[in-house]
Amino acid sequence: MFCYAKQLEYPVRIKNCNPRLASAIITQYGGPDGELGASLRYLSQRFSMPFDEAKGTLTDIGTEELGHLEMIGALVHQLTRNLTPEEVVAGGFDAYFVDHTTGVYPQGASGTPFTAAMMQSTGDPITDLNEDMAAEGTTI
Amino acid sequence: MADQVITRKRCTADYAYPFAQWDLRLYLDTHPDDREALAYFRTLCEKMPDTYACHGTMAPDGTCDHWHWIEGPWPWEFEANAIDGKICSCNDSCCDCQKGGR
């Protein structure tokens, strides 16, 4: 079961709106190496892990990734509040805006909606752990 | 607690302690018998209890020689879903479950 702690893991305080930056940051929300993919990857792979250490680790990491998803959502939300139509166009944000306005929608920067094709859960622990490292490797 | 219902003013410690507790929790998931880490986790949870990071991890009697959080069965496993000690809810005497004493 999942409980919700009503606090971000780290505070998000964006003083200046920046829709152009939001168009890039959104990829960490619903893009191929983003937090939604990370959460689903770990929370799905844990079922077929053979050892308690792995079950616990993947459960806790997957849970934390949901917390990261929330922070990225907060970032996009704060970067795009109070936009004028001119700012939307000037920021190259018009294509996203016409479908989602200032709502937060899980997609990559290129506009591709999130899909489970961005992750894998093979049932083989070594393969799955390698896939985790490959996905995290983009951050390192 | 009212603090958890109404979003209140937060200070640095409100973010720092849970973050440290959570990081230690991840370490203990793969090092469940590390006594130094267990003691440090206990210290952090005493300094700020009831956080999302401590939740469900401390043994009720406070013993701290092993990280029990990772112990099975995990919720998705068959054995974890017995109610009142029984996995099979049928009362049919020729059911395999009854014969196996489950």
User: In this structure, what is the dihedral angle of CA atoms B41, B45, B46, B49, given to the nearest 10 degrees?
Assistant: -170
From the list A11, A59, A60, the residue facing B15 with the nearest CB is: A11
CA A38 to CA A41: how far, in whole Å? 5
The per-residue pLDDT for range A20-61, each reduced to its tens digit, is 999 999 999 999 989 999 999 999 999 999 999 999 999 999
Residues of B in contact with A5 (CB under 8 A): 18, 51-52
The whole model's pTM is what? 0.89
Mutate to test the interface with A, among B14, B17, B57, B74 (most CBs of A within 10 A): B74
ipTM reported for the complex, 2 dp: 0.89
pLDDT digits (tens, 9 = 90+) for A98-137: 999 999 999 999 999 999 999 999 999 999 999 999 998 8
B6 has pLDDT over 70? no
- The more confident residue out of A50 and B93 is A50
Give the residue from A104, A19, A45, A20 showing the smallest Cα distance to A69.
A104
Residues of A in contact with B52 (CB under 8 A): 3, 5, 7
Which residue ranges form the domains of chain A, and what is each CATH number? 19-133 (1.20.1260.10)
Of residues A105, A90, A84, A111, the one with CA closest to residue A20: A90
d(CA A106, CA A35): 10
Residue B69 contacts residue B28 (beta carbons within 8 Å): yes
